[in-house]
Amino acid sequence: MTEREWQRGYLGEFELMVLLAVIRLGDEAYGVPLTRELGEVRGREVSAGSVYAALERLEAKGLVSSNLGEATPERGGRAKRYFRVTEDGLSTARETRRVLNGLWKKLPPVGGDLA
């Protein structure tokens, strides 16, 4: 990945969490399970609007794609919007993990633990 591609695909902390949740949920990645998954991992309530805002940024960067699913009566006839990670999204996630792992490993011990 070139420097320019890296800059364009730069992920904020929350965007990275959302991207990983999309990867983990696979074919079931739409708003409700994504919000629940992120809330459980973070240990606090996550706003559905902020999840969609992050998803839209990821989609604009080409890291996820979306398609409309079924409309159910309990959703008032509104269709679910399913998200799926793209090849660019997968490579960006791998690259981010490689960089973060490298940085964590280089941290000096502080107080008997990593800083």
Partner 1 sequence: MRMADSEMTWQIVLGLLLLEKLSLGASNEALAGDLLEQCHRGRSTAWFWGQVARAIGRSAGQAAVDAAPATVFALGWSLLFPWWREALAGWLPRAVPEQWMRLAWPRPALLEVSYGVVPTISFVWLGALVYLVVRRERLAGRSPMRVVSGLSASLNVLLLATVALLHHFQTPDLMVVTGAHFYFGYAVMGVSVPVAASLLTALLVAEGRRPRVANGQPGASGMRRKMARAEHGLRRTTPAQGLWWLAARTKAGALALVHICQTRADMGHQDLSHVPNTRDMGHPAVSTR
Taking the C-alpha atoms of residue 62 and residue 10, their distance in angstroms, rounded to an integer, is 12
| Element holding 23 (H helix, E strand) | helix 13-25
Interactions with partner 1, residue window 33-72 (CB under 8 A): 35, 47-50, 52-53, 55-57, 59-62, 65-68, 71-72
- Kindly state the smallest distance separating residue 13's Cβ from partner 1, in Å: 17
- Kindly state the smallest distance separating residue 61's Cβ from partner 1, in Å: 8
> Which residues neighbour 17 within 8 Å (Cβ) at sequence distance 6 or greater?
38, 41, 42
76 or 108: whose CB is closer to partner 1?
A: 76
76 touching partner 1, by CB under 8 A? yes
Instruction: For 44-90, give the secondary structure using H, E and C.
Output: CCCCHHHHHHHHHHHHHCCCEEEEEEEECHHHCCCEEEEEEECHHHH
What is the size of the binding site for partner 1 (CB under 8 A)? 30
Residues of the shown chain interacting with partner 1 in the complex, contacts defined by CB under 8 A: 30-32, 35, 47-50, 52-53, 55-57, 59-62, 65-68, 71-72, 74-76, 78-81
